[in-house]
Amino acid sequence: MSLVTVLKVSLSFLDNQIFHEIGLQVEPRDRIGLVGPNGSGKTTLLRLIMGHVSTDSGEVRIARGIRIGYLPQDVQEVLTGPLLPSVIDSIPGRVVLENELSSVEQSLKTASSKQQQAKLAERLAEIHHEINSLELRFPRHGAEKILAGLGFKETEFDQPISSLSGGWGALRKP
């Protein structure tokens, strides 16, 4: 059973035809690389598969229960620091929660009344609960597994993202 199927998809922007009745299938355990010159439609194809762009004709089918993730090629402009922590910090809401945790902890140290301390302590417990929930849904070993699947060795997990080129991880051979 195909995980992703693209059937006779056509797409044009303005008067420029990007795709004309293209098709592809992604089967379980496939590893696929998109290669082509700038402007040839690689990112547009990924956006079609993700459902961020609509086709002019044809269809994109995603198997039931399949979740698709997409890491934009300009990720190094958004993420900084070592590779693994950056992947972990890319979990939606995680950095905001950690920043709030730090802020509430700081406020707790300077709280003047017992009532204010109790309110801050309650919020601190809520934040810890939310962070624990994120860690259960998106554990560190999950991020390690993703990076290993892209061909990174464990010794490279602490490598700065700034040292990677846009498609470097996707083009590596495990």
Question: Quick one: pLDDT at residue 172?
Answer: 40
In order of 33, 45, 74, 86, 166, the CA distances from 77 in angstroms are: 22, 22, 6, 12, 10
Task: Give per-residue pLDDT as tens, 103-120.
Answer: 999 999 998 899 999 999
**Which is it for the CA torsion 6, 9, 11, 17, positive or negative?**
positive
Measured distance CA(60)–CA(47) in Å, rounded = 11
Measured distance CA(2)–CA(127) in Å, rounded = 40
What SS3 state is found at 46? helix
Task: Give per-residue pLDDT as tens, 20-43.
Answer: 999 999 999 888 888 888 778 888
What SS3 state is found at 165? coil
In the chain, which residues have pLDDT < 70?
Answer: 70-80, 165-174
What is the 8-class DSSP label of residue 134? H
pTM, 2 dp: 0.48
